Chains A and B, each alone.
Chain A
Amino acid sequence: MGVRIRLSRQTLAILDALLVRPGQWHHGYSLSQSTGIPSGTLYPILMRLEKLHWLETRWEEAKTPGRPPRHLYRLSGTAREWAREELRAAQKKHFWTPAGDQV
């Protein structure tokens, strides 16, 4: 069961990135690349979202031998709706704008 919380701009950006292809699994590095959020901020947010049951995670075996398994993330079913609501609300309040709209 997920919990609704107050979200920071960085969290909203991550949710936005996860909602681009909501059914697809995302890697931490690609999320960092698409949002511009450094690893030191990204992972605590992902950890928090996972604790709130907004995020589903799984490990993926490395395709190249000798590399460690990678962690994958996607929004859970209910969380996708909540995330969209939160993003809309934040946009209305001018608290946050999608990356594409920032000119």
Chain B
Amino acid sequence: MSSVLLATAHLKGPHVDFAGLSPLIALLGGAAIVLLAGLVGSRRVRAHAVPGLTLVALGAALGLTIWQWHEQKSIVSGALRIDPLALILTLVLVAGAACAVLLAWRSLAAREAAHGEFHALLLTSVGGMSLLASAQNTVALFVGLELLSIPLYVMCATELRREHSLESGLKYLIIGSVGSATLLYGLAMIYGATGATDFSAIAEKLASGTLATDPLTLTGVALCVAGLCFKASVAPFHQWTPDVYEGAPTPVTAFMAVTTKVAALGVFLRFFDVALISTQSTWGPALATLATITIVVGNVGALGQSSLKRMLAYSSVAQAGYMLAGVVVASRLGVQATALYLAVYLFMNMAAFAVIVARERETGLGDSISSLAGLGRARPLLAWPMTLAMLGLAGIPATAGFIGKFYLIDAAVSGGYAWLGVVIVVGSMISLGYYLPVIAAMWMGEAPAEGRTPPVHPGGLPALAGGSPELDADAGVPEAAGWEVGTVAVLAGAATLFFGIVPQPLFDLVHHAGAALGLL
């Protein structure tokens, strides 16, 4: 008995660095609280307190991230790394999630999924992304990826009575699982080849000896590339993107478009530029080729789309291609350029999606491009953010998109990939073919005949098909877009413009990100 006591006395629990984990705790703890708050009886409390609490959780995560700002440390036995890159990405993720919460505030999706569940899923997903952004070994990477994906599958399908929403969720589930499985194979093979799960240990093993050209390693790397490309929707693994983006409820699409990109690109940066850095000569050209294909496929696919969400889905494919250029060069400049572009990408996409959300609720036209017709005259406060977002995504000067693209091309050229820089500008040229018509519709098109046509909602389904009278009573016609949607649009549009003219704060933000990975 006494010996047992003695043994436990000597057993020291592992040191847990709660400070480093605090943003993650805020997110996941927040998810639990929000889930409980969703059980409150009053409908009004549910509809407003739950998103409010979610924002508080996100705000706490944001504050804790900033508190950790200058840290550089490994936590949880080296599974996670807290460094400027992880913190910047977390910042962008949290900001993106906050925008998504605002966009979903009065949305059908949040209501149908019961507010608590919707927001808890959202917070869990953000937690997974934040985990992913700081993952330092392959196990943490995979856990983060699943924690990110599974809530998203559900969120895509939250508009229970819309067929496209369900289809979108199912499609995403199936394709996402294939991607995860592929990635897992790849990770296992790399573990088999190197005997390590830790990124820096893998890098050490690969640097010494002939492991770098070992077929097992190379197959593993190839499978990892494929798996991650599914997540980042890099061509030719992008086919799910347009369908899922179009089908998912728009606030969820906005959330997905921005944050999964951030998380996936974060993993790309960490995994390829740290763990696999010594095989850069092998995967560099391959990834550059993928980037080229992605840019071409994304931009060409977006041409002629009449659904704005589909168009933005293809555009996000193309943008992923641009950002891959920063990964390919595996340099400090590349990391900084990618991180900066991710931040800029947040503003531009949020502005665009906020406007789409607003128009979806105001007109009966859904996300069709015609829902924007004549917006310039009728609603300048919505038209300007959309215009700036489109110009920014196309990379026009005086928007942050120009600065981001400039930096990426800069990184590509100085990394010896000048041709990839040219591919980026060629992609931008094609992209004008679909961004400009959106602007033309707003400023040069006539507004449709007056009279608000509220969106049509299918009636209740039989209980067998998932319908319930209680839900029907709860659903009804959604409220008009509130002030919060307009606020997101205006703020994001203003940020797009502001950082296009005064970009230095963004550069200061990402300045240490590159150094964090120990690249030149």
A and B are interacting partners: no
Residues of B within 8 A of A (CB): none
